């Protein structure tokens, strides 16, 4: 992934290469991303045994669901939007395991 992501698809395609297995520890979770608007879509991450699989589409029973506009998610990944502020402003919706949302950034080299 270049210094700045230009599309959501680019972010998800780069995730396996940026995953830091030592930061995931014993995590076994499925994280669903529902990104709306132009360039959005659905992807999910299956994390288990210090490995990650990224799949386009909807997961059957996600541990956590992250919802946002595709443009806001791009801004978060590029460091232009603080994820906590985005959540407080209602730009990001999290359902399920909130601690997972807080730990996601440390599991990826940005």
If one counts the domains in the chain, the total is: 1
Helix (H, G, I), strand (E, B) or coil at 36: strand
Residue 62's domain spans which residues? 8-97
Q: Give a yes or no: residue 66 inside a domain.
A: yes
Q: Give a yes or no: residue 79 inside a domain.
A: yes
- CB atoms under 10 Å from CB of 74, counted, come to 22
pLDDT tens string, the chain, 110 residues long: the values are 447 899 999 999 999 999 999 999 899 999 999 999 999 999 999 999 999 999 999 999 999 999 999 999 999 999 999 999 999 999 999 999 998 988 888 999 86
Task: Read off the CATH number of the domain in which 50 is found.
Answer: 3.30.1050.10
pLDDT recorded at residue 36: 98
pLDDT recorded at residue 102: 84
Q: Give a yes or no: residue 102 inside a domain.
A: no
pLDDT recorded at residue 110: 66
Q: Which residues contact 89 (CB under 8 A, 6 or more apart)?
A: none
pLDDT recorded at residue 17: 95
List of E strands, the chain: 29-36, 41-48, 51-56, 64-69, 92-96
Q: Give a yes or no: residue 63 inside a domain.
A: yes
Q: Give a yes or no: residue 39 inside a domain.
A: yes
Residues forming a β-bridge with 29: 47
pLDDT recorded at residue 1: 43
pLDDT digits (tens, 9 = 90+) for 47-79: 999 999 999 999 999 999 999 999 999 999 999
């Amino acid at each position: 992934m270049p210094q700045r992501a230009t599309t959501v698809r680019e972010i998800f395609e780069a995730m396996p290469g940026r995953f830091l297995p030592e930061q995931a520890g014993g995590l076994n979770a499925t994280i669903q991303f529902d990104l709306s608007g132009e360039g959005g879509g659905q992807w999910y991450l299956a994390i288990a045994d210090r490995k990650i699989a990224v799949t386009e589409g909807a997961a059957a029973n996600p541990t956590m669901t992250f919802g946002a506009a595709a443009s806001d998610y791009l801004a978060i990944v590029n460091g232009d939007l603080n994820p906590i502020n985005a959540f407080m402003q209602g730009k990001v919706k999290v359902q399920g395991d909130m601690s997972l949302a807080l730990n996601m950034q440390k599991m990826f080299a940005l």
